[in-house]
Amino acid sequence: MSDTSIKPRIEKVPLSEQFFQKLPVLLVPMLALGGLVAIGSPDSWLTLTVAGLAMGMMIFIMASGLTVVFGLMDVINFGHGAFVAVGAFVGFTVLAWLAGWTTSPSVMLNLFAVLIAILAAMLVTGLLGYAFERVIVMPVYGEHLKQILVTMGGLIVAQQMIYVVWGPDELHLSRPEALKGSFVIGEAAIEKYRLVAVGIGLALFLAMRHILKSTKVGLLVRAGVENGEMVEALGYRIRRLFLIVFMTGSALAGLGGVMWGLYQETITAHMGSEIMVLVFIVVIIGGLGSVEGCFIGALLVGLLANYTAFLAPKVALISTIALMVAILMWRPQGLYPVVKAK
Amino acid sequence: MLTKLFSGDTPRSGLLTVLLLIVLVSLAFAPFLFPGTKSLETAARICIFIVLVASYDLLLGYSGIVSFAHTMFFGIGAYGTALALSSTGPSYWSMIWGTAAGAVLAAAFALAIGLFSLRVKAIFFAMVTLAVASAFAVLVSQMSWLTGGEDGLNYKIPRELTPAFKLVKEKVLGVRINGKLLAYYLVFFASAILFLMMLRIVNSPFGRTLKAVRDNAFRAEAIGYRVVWYRTTATVLSAVMAALAGSLLAIWLRYTGPATTLSMEIMIDILLMVVIGGMGTLYGAVLGATIFILAQTYLHNLMGVAADATSAVPLVSTLIAPERWLLWLGVLFILSVYFFPTGIVGRLRAGRA
């Protein structure tokens, strides 16, 4: 009897299929390798790669919120760039107040000042996200056309409010002492700040993955992406969940804004809409709704932008568009399509 | 006869008809009614933007597609004419072939973007066009050997269209009949013809199918219409119209640069004009463009006065400073999307019924 027991047949995914699914992950090292071949000199390559990774991480921080919000609630926020700009302005204001700390030679004080600036920026943009969701996005759930229009209107108003509060001029601020300068490895100079940016970005990605994969909230978010109505039917308030995700996404945009501002050392009220172009490209490449895809997309865009800026400065932005087109030719829904085309 | 001219799509509201007539008469006799350079500039700008905004409405209002690349097509038309005029000299021939080349290029671009990204979903198209348009703007400002970069291009237009050319020695009704006047009427009549053409398009069977696709794409597909084909054609048509409007602007200004044609600000202006005027009706474009440009030109002064009057109150005076007028338009925009999605024209028509 025991001989004839039916064993569950576990479908083994063929190796080629597995490879195909993992393929997007390999794109980043492939691109880096291609960059090495194209650039030739390993030292400049190292500098550019670190710069590209740093840029990619910062874009990822800004884009991750957007993509999760879309995945969960089918809402695309064209005003996301406003959070980036507001975050940068709040962060810069705080850093300007703490000028005594940022110019002191003590590394701890420097980092503490940056931490406070980041927390302030995230708090303000998080609250702004709350207001944005309640006032602007909530009345137009499920209507894409109106969503695009209304969030665009929100962007205009937010940008103008920045002018009202901080004046029409761009702000300059130099980085705290501890984040200035660079390490020199061989011939390659690596800016300290870029390493910090890579560190923060990586930590954030891992934390996000952890939350999404192994906590209750993450489970609900993933379930919501898969089938929102079912989650609601099981008794969870998906609206509230969405509000939390929206606020987190806004706060992350604020964090990205501070980091981007410190990277450029100059911020303007319309910096948000400029960065949004890159953010959108990243979100499209990654597949709307996918955090992993967004991460890979951000790294690809960051690396490619830095390589082409070195090799052929004039086509830097075009190259990212070309990358987007190429990826979409290959996978029309992006690297990791999470949300089925609705 | 008149109904036929309007392709059977009459304003259908008394007040709207009056308003449209006022706009029409003012624009038609602008040089005589409002003498002065500034008002003529404003009138020409209104004519050109009516075409531009109406062509955008073809996409947004009639097809339900949000595009952020409309200024790109506008710019392609303007640069086409500008490059032709500056490279082959100020002749009518170069004006014509430049305009045609701009329109063809815009159509090709629109076709490529449409076929590429309209298959998936509307939101995708909006994001892709935003990315492509900003890349295009950067490219134009960097290719300074061809486009003059940020400075743009200055060029000559045929002499008959410049102020130096006098048609009649004496003044007529106190207005000098010179080339500038001819140029204005060129812009005016070209805009009128283009507008009537668009009115024809949206009231044709094609236009009605577009509306069906907008309202329920799935159903339209089920009935047997190729949704992608209709959307792409609408994109191409609207791109060509935008390019022609761009050519008109290039001829009128005798200057083409990124700030006047490609900037994101203009894209936002167009969006505001369409929504405030009324989506899904071309008359909305007329009212939207007229009101917006009049406000842009003259409201500034009014807000300046108001800001001076309230200069004692710190926050209020910065809020109503003339530079902040976009803030209030943004608020108005959001409110009108919520409460008057059909815009001014929709309100007027509903009021009658």
CATH number of domain containing A234: 1.10.3470
pLDDT the model gives residue B312: 66
Instruction: Give me the residues paired with residue A184 across strands.
Output: A189
Domain ranges of chain B: 2-352
Tell me if A10 is assigned to some domain.
Answer: no
The residue count for chain A: 342
Percent of chain B at pLDDT > 90 equals 24
What does the alpha-carbon distance between residue B177 and residue B179 come to, in Å, rounded to a whole number?
7
- The closest CB to that of A136, out of B120, B123, B334, belongs to B334
Q: Which of A95-109, A118-132, A190-204, B119-133: highest mean pLDDT?
A: A118-132
Residue in A closest to B120 by C-alpha:
A341
Two tokens, residue A232 = 């609601």
The complex scores an ipTM of 0.80
pLDDT band at B233 (very low <50, low <70, confident <90, very high): very high
H or E, element range at B252: helix B227-253
Percent of chain A at pLDDT > 90 equals 15
**B172 vs A125, residue with greater confidence:** A125
Two tokens, residue B115 = 């076929």
B337 CB neighbours in chain A (<8 A) are 140, 146, 149-150, 153
* Model confidence at A89: pLDDT above 70: yes
Inter-chain residue contact B132 with A321, CB threshold 8 Å:
yes
Inter-chain residue contact B323 with A168, CB threshold 8 Å:
yes
* Model confidence at A218: pLDDT above 50: yes
Classify B301 as helix, strand or coil.
Answer: helix
Inter-chain residue contact A161 with B130, CB threshold 8 Å:
no
Burial class of residue A20, CB neighbours in 10 A (0-12, 13-18, 19+): exposed
Tens of pLDDT along B102-144? 999 999 999 988 887 766 666 778 888 888 888 888 888 888 7
Within an 8 Å CB–CB cutoff, is residue B333 touching chain A?
yes
Residue in A closest to B129 by C-alpha:
A277
Q: Alpha-carbon Rg of chain A, whole angstroms?
A: 21
Tell me if A18 is assigned to some domain.
Answer: no
* Model confidence at A274: pLDDT above 50: yes
B234 neighbors B110 (Cβ within 8 angstroms): no
Closest CA–CA distance from residue A332 to any residue of chain B (Å): 8
* Model confidence at A15: pLDDT above 60: yes
Closest CA–CA distance from residue B35 to any residue of chain A (Å): 35
- The closest CB to that of A144, out of B122, B131, B330, belongs to B122
Classify B154 as helix, strand or coil.
Answer: strand
Find the distance separating the first CA and the last CA of chain B, reported in whole Å. 25
Inter-chain residue contact B131 with A149, CB threshold 8 Å:
no
pLDDT the model gives residue B264: 82
CA A162 to chain centre: 22
* Model confidence at A204: pLDDT above 80: yes
Closest CA–CA distance from residue B34 to any residue of chain A (Å): 33
Tell me if A137 is assigned to some domain.
Answer: yes
Name the least confident of A234-248, A295-309, B109-123, B204-218: B109-123
Within an 8 Å CB–CB cutoff, is residue B146 touching chain A?
no
* Model confidence at A342: pLDDT above 50: no
pTM for the predicted model, two decimal places: 0.84
CA-based nearest residue to A220, from A247, A239, A202: A239
What does the alpha-carbon distance between residue B327 and residue A159 come to, in Å, rounded to a whole number?
8
Percent of chain B at pLDDT > 70 equals 90
pLDDT band at A250 (very low <50, low <70, confident <90, very high): very high
Average confidence score pLDDT of chain B: 84
Report the pLDDT averaged over residues B83-98: 86
pLDDT band at B246 (very low <50, low <70, confident <90, very high): very high
What does the alpha-carbon distance between residue A292 and residue A281 come to, in Å, rounded to a whole number?
15
pLDDT the model gives residue B353: 47
What does the alpha-carbon distance between residue B309 and residue B137 come to, in Å, rounded to a whole number?
40
* Model confidence at A81: pLDDT above 80: yes
pLDDT band at B243 (very low <50, low <70, confident <90, very high): very high
What does the alpha-carbon distance between residue A92 and residue A94 come to, in Å, rounded to a whole number?
5
A168 CB neighbours in chain B (<8 A) are 323
Inter-chain residue contact A157 with B324, CB threshold 8 Å:
no
Number of H helices and E strands in chain A, helices first, is: 13, 4
Range of the domain at A259: 43-169+183-330
Within an 8 Å CB–CB cutoff, is residue B112 touching chain A?
no
Within an 8 Å CB–CB cutoff, is residue B142 touching chain A?
yes
Q: Which of A215-229, B61-75, B128-142: highest mean pLDDT?
A: B61-75
What does the alpha-carbon distance between residue B221 and residue A173 come to, in Å, rounded to a whole number?
56
Which of B63, B124, B265 has the highest number of chain A CBs within 10 A, making it the mutation to test binding with A?
A: B124
How is residue B167 annotated by DSSP? S
Tell me if A69 is assigned to some domain.
Answer: yes
* Model confidence at B228: pLDDT above 80: yes
Closest CA–CA distance from residue A285 to any residue of chain B (Å): 11
Report the pLDDT averaged over residues B186-191: 93
pLDDT band at B78 (very low <50, low <70, confident <90, very high): very high
Closest CA–CA distance from residue B184 to any residue of chain A (Å): 33
CA B54 to chain centre: 6
Report the pLDDT averaged over residues B321-341: 80
DSSP codes, B26-89:
HHHTHHHHS-SHHHHHHHHHHHHHHHHHHHHHHHHHHH----S-HHHHHHHHHHHHHHHHHHH-
Whole-angstrom CA distances from A269 to A45, A90, A117, B267, B331 are: 33, 12, 18, 17, 18
Tell me if A4 is assigned to some domain.
Answer: no
Average confidence score pLDDT of chain A: 83
What does the alpha-carbon distance between residue B282 and residue B310 come to, in Å, rounded to a whole number?
39
pLDDT the model gives residue A183: 76
A284 CB neighbours in chain B (<8 A) are 124, 127-128, 131
Which of A73, A80, A145 has the highest number of chain B CBs within 10 A, making it the mutation to test binding with B?
A: A145
Sign of dihedral through CA atoms A65, A66, A67, A71?
A: positive
> What is the domain count for chain A?
1
Within an 8 Å CB–CB cutoff, is residue B258 touching chain A?
no
What kind of fold does domain B2-352 have according to CATH? ABC transporter involved in vitamin B12 uptake, BtuC (1.10.3470)
Report the pLDDT averaged over residues B318-336: 77
Inter-chain residue contact B131 with A78, CB threshold 8 Å:
no
Within an 8 Å CB–CB cutoff, is residue B8 touching chain A?
no
Name the least confident of A81-95, B38-52, B119-133, B213-227: B119-133
* Model confidence at B313: pLDDT above 70: no
CA-based nearest residue to B284, from B352, B336, B234, B233: B336
B214 neighbors B66 (Cβ within 8 angstroms): no
Residues 6+ apart with CB under 8 A from A135: none
The residue count for chain B: 353
pLDDT the model gives residue B206: 92
Pick left, alpha or beta for residue B305 (phi over 0 → left; psi -120 to 50 → alpha; otherwise beta).
alpha
